[in-house]
Amino acid sequence: MLKPVALGSLEHLMPIIFATVFTVFIIRFSKLKLSEVKQKKVFHGLGIFVSLTVLIFHIDLILKGGYSLVKDLPLYLCSFMALFIFVFTYYKKYWMYEILLFWILAGTSQAILTPDITTGFGSFEYFRYWVAHLGLVSIIFYATSVFKMRPTLKSLAKSYLAIQVFFAFSMAINYLLGSNYSYLNKKPKSASVLDYFGDWPNYIYVVELILIPYFLLIYLPFYFIKKRKII
């Protein structure tokens, strides 16, 4: 029987190492060897792969029976982004990048550092989890490095406001279904940073407050790079 992924185990660390090597390779290869047209094809291919993986995972769950609207819908932030990331990789709109950069780097960091996977290596859930989260990171790094997309302070504000809309939508769904999407009704069973933020609903308020400096921290490297170029 497959066991949950333990924090710091090989099942936890190996996907991160693989994704890091792959991302560095595909970015360097694209920048040095590919034309702009082929760069766009690679970018969209990454998006299709991530989105298809999530879609097939949910179709597989439905076909097996017992698909639950309460816990199986792709309405956790990272799952939602992964399902629709192909739209961004196809249209390559800057306003999408502005929102997704902060959502992805802030959202996936928690999921990558403290994975919430009930079954380990060899399961479809394990594969889907890492493709969704690490795939999103690869895509946003690709857009930043290959296509030279960069956020501004206005991007930070747009992303923060957009995530409030998503949280409001998730809360409405949770109210209707009695679900816990985006962990807005209770914390995940696995260990997470939310454990340090108090009980419900206090941890939600803490997250809302922390998101602002967290987004600023994500923006900081871009600010210093831009400032250095000006000087």
* Residue pLDDT, tens place only, 146-192: 999 999 999 999 999 999 999 999 999 999 999 999 888 887 776 66
Domains in the chain, number: 1
Let me know if residue 4 belongs to a domain.
no
| Cβ–Cβ < 8 Å for 19, 137 | yes
Q: Would you say the C-alpha torsion 15, 66, 82, 161 has a positive or negative sign? A: negative
Q: Which domain range does residue 213 map to?
A: 10-230
Let me know if residue 28 belongs to a domain.
yes
Task: Please give the share of the chain, as a percent, with pLDDT higher than 70.
Answer: 95
* Residue pLDDT, tens place only, 70-91: 988 999 899 999 999 999 999 9
Let me know if residue 50 belongs to a domain.
yes
Let me know if residue 80 belongs to a domain.
yes
* Residue 159 to residue 153: CA distance in whole angstroms: 10
Let me know if residue 2 belongs to a domain.
no
Let me know if residue 3 belongs to a domain.
no
Label residue 1 by pLDDT band (50, 70, 90).
low
Let me know if residue 210 belongs to a domain.
yes
* Residue 107 to residue 103: CA distance in whole angstroms: 5
Least confident segment among 97-106, 134-143, 176-185: 176-185
Let me know if residue 143 belongs to a domain.
yes
Mean pLDDT of 215-230: 85
